């Protein structure tokens, strides 16, 4: 039986980034610029993929889906964060907190799996080029993408089913700028050991299984590239993978720190800093990496935004 003074809170207070008014204004400007650029960059990528026939390939189909995912990925966190930076009222309802957490976990898990699918696509393109057009047809690409979203939704639903049952007594302050799993587990007044265990196991599965697919794919790609006699041929083949590999390293390295360690290793300051990297910085850099390191995307951009000269 629950203790008599144990009641569930109706709202939380997101402490965010405590700082002076001048620093808060600077943070708002920087985060607002980053959010605006991230959304704009991803919209541009989606548009050039849809409007350029040369980009109607499986690799760019997945890239378009990644851009669509990242628009929602940043939008579930950053608008609320921006409002809280300038506002004295940093409240978020319990239902609003659970909703934000649900969609954020869904998008994170979906991105892990989608990046693994993109690695598998590069593996087939380089290691099995003759069968690649037959295997990676539009229907299979669509099924893989839907599968990524279903896995993300299922994983998020399981995690939230345990976290939403926790009780939060007199502590309603979350030392973070959004509703994340570790801060909620740390302020719960009920036994959170089962929720923590489920979260840890699912985080390892969602991170490590796709990571194994990525690593295995690139090991096979490396061995295939070594068999290509000319260095120019190797460089041309690897150029189709370099942007994806860079994005994988950035995303996995930042999120692995946060979601693959037990609650005992949690520190507020380090967690907030790393969270800024994968919720603000990495999504901002991803479109730039794909545009700067991919010749076909660069050519499509020039073709789209350069006005044709009159003859």
Average pLDDT of span 257-262? 60
Domain ranges of the chain: 11-297
Architecture of domain 11-297: Up-down Bundle (1.20)
Closest CA to 115 of 243, 266, 303, 299: 243
The DSSP 8-state label assigned to residue 11 in this structure reads E
State how far the alpha carbon of 234 is from the alpha carbons of 222, 240, 303, in Å. Answer: 9, 11, 27
Look-up: residue for tokens 């620093």? Answer: 23
Helix (H) or strand (E) run with residue 14 in it: strand 11-14
Q: What is the DSSP letter of 309?
A: P
More confident residue, 286 or 89: 286
Long-range contacts of 25-34 (CB under 8 A, 24+ apart): 25/86, 27/85, 28/82, 28/85, 28/86, 31/78, 31/81, 31/82, 31/85, 31/280, 32/82, 34/78, 34/280, 34/281, 34/284
pLDDT in tens, 125-160: 999 988 999 999 999 999 999 999 999 999 999 999
Return d(Cα 266, Cα 80) in angstroms, integer: 24
According to the model, what pLDDT value does residue 149 have? 96
- Per-residue pLDDT of 162-172, as tens digits, reads 998 888 876 67
pLDDT at 308: 52
Calpha distance 200→235 (Å, rounded): 39
Handedness of CA 34, 37, 40, 43 (dihedral sign): negative
d(CA 242, CA 163): 38
The angle, 0 to 180 degrees and rounded to 10, between the axes of the packed helices 231-259 and 268-276 is 140
């Amino acid at each position: 039986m629950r203790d008599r003074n144990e009641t569930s809170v109706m709202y939380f207070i997101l402490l965010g980034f405590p700082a002076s008014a001048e620093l808060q204004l600077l943070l708002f400007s920087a985060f607002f610029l980053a959010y605006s650029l991230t959304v704009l960059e991803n919209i541009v990528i989606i548009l050039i993929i849809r409007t350029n026939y040369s980009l109607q390939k499986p690799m760019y189909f997945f890239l378009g889906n990644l851009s669509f995912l990242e628009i929602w990925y940043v939008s579930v966190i950053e608008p609320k964060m921006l409002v809280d930076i300038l506002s004295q009222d940093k409240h978020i309802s319990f239902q609003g907190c659970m909703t934000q957490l649900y969609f954020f976990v869904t998008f994170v898990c979906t991105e892990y799996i989608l990046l693994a699918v993109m690695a598998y696509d590069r593996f087939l393109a380089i290691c099995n080029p003759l069968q690649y057009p037959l295997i990676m047809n539009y229907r299979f690409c669509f099924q893989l993408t839907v599968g990524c979203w279903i896995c993300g939704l299922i994983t998020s639903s399981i995690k939230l089913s345990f976290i939403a049952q926790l009780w939060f007594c007199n502590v309603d302050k979350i030392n973070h700028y959004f509703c994340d799993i570790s801060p909620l587990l740390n302020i719960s007044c009920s036994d959170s050991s089962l929720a923590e265990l489920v979260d840890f196991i699912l985080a390892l599965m969602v991170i490590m299984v796709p990571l194994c697919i990525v690593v295995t794919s690139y090991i096979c790609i490396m061995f295939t590239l070594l068999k290509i006699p000319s260095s120019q041929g190797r460089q041309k083949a690897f150029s189709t993978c370099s942007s994806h590999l860079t994005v994988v390293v950035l995303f996995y390295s930042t999120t692995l720190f946060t979601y693959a360690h037990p609650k005992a290793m949690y520190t507020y300051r380090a967690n907030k800093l790393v969270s800024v990297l994968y919720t603000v910085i990495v999504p901002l850099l991803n479109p730039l990496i794909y545009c700067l390191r991919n010749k076909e995307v660069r050519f499509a951009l020039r073709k789209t935004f350069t006005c044709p000269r009159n003859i």
